[in-house]
Amino acid sequence: MMRLDRPGIFKARPLSWAVRTAESGAVAVALEYLVLAQLDGSAWIDWSGAEDHTVYGDTYVVKRDGTVHTSGVEQLVAALGWNGDLRAVAGAPPKVVVQVAVKEEEYQGKKRLKVAWVNPGDYSPRPEGASGGDVARLQVRFGSLLRAAAAVATKKAPAKPAPVPSATSAPPAASPTSDAAFDDDIPF
């Protein structure tokens, strides 16, 4: 088997797993994955006809301070069905297909590829932002409030940074028509 030679998003199957401890006290579930396919734009390119490639990744489940690394646990639960029992890692890994995000990392002057994130095999990324229809509904609901808040913020925003008062100068007095007179009306 060959080591993976490029970053990207891949479908993979766990080949082996083990519990790994770092000198810092952090704990990871270390996995070796067999690459099955690579995402190219929105299409998956099947690697079954190519020589087998593997990639490794450590998913940290305990931080160096001894607290649970929640996102690491969530990744392993969602992608592998892990139950949180470190003793279960002593056996064979689950027979599932996952998606792995592989990134290049430099450590002690050497570059290497490693799994940075694990998702379930059928994972599809969330859209980057709200849909046009959602934005339109939000605009109807909150638009006038947001425009009013923006108008007030524009009036309050200084054209240039305010000068730093010296230790001997007194702060300027608020006039009844200044915006400072209305600060008590803010409901939060």
Give 56-78 pLDDT, tens digit per residue: 999 999 999 999 999 999 999 99
User: pLDDT tens across 86-113, in order?
Assistant: 999 998 999 999 999 999 998 889 999 9
Mean pLDDT along residues 29-49 = 94
What pLDDT is attached to residue 25?
Answer: 95
d(CA 90, CA 174): 69
Quick: pLDDT tens for 129-183.
Answer: 677 787 888 888 888 888 888 887 777 766 655 555 555 544 444 444 434 333 4
Q: Distance (Å, rounded) from C-alpha 100 to C-alpha 120? A: 9
Count of residues in the chain: 188
- For the ranges 27-36, 44-53, 70-79, 120-129, the lowest mean pLDDT is seen at 120-129
What is the model's pTM?
A: 0.66
Rounded-to-integer distance, Cα 179 and Cα 177, Å: 7
The per-residue pLDDT for 158 is 63
With cut-offs at 50, 70 and 90, classify the pLDDT of residue 42.
confident
Token readout for 145 is 């409030």
What is the set of domains in the chain, with CATH numbers? Answer: 2-120 (2.40.50)
Tell me the three-class secondary structure of the chain, residue by residue: CEECCCCEEEEEEEEEEEEEECCCCCEEEEEEEEEEEEEECCEEEECCCCCCEEEEEEEEEECCCCCECHHHHHHHHHHHCCCCCHHHHHCCCCCCCEEEEEEEEEECCEEEEEEEEEEECCCCCCCCCCCHHHHHHHHHHHHHHHHHHHHHHHHHCCCCCCCCCCCCCCCCCCCCCCHHHHHHHCCC
With residues binned 3-state (H G I as helix, E B as strand, rest as coil), the percentages for the chain, rounded to 5, are 25, 35, 40
Question: pLDDT > 70: what percent of the chain?
Answer: 80
Distances 153 to 24, 35, 52, 146, 182 between C-alpha atoms, Å: 46, 52, 59, 10, 13
Q: Which of 40, 61, 39, 53 is nearest to 123 (CA)?
A: 39
From CA 181, how far away is CA 176, in angstroms rounded? 6
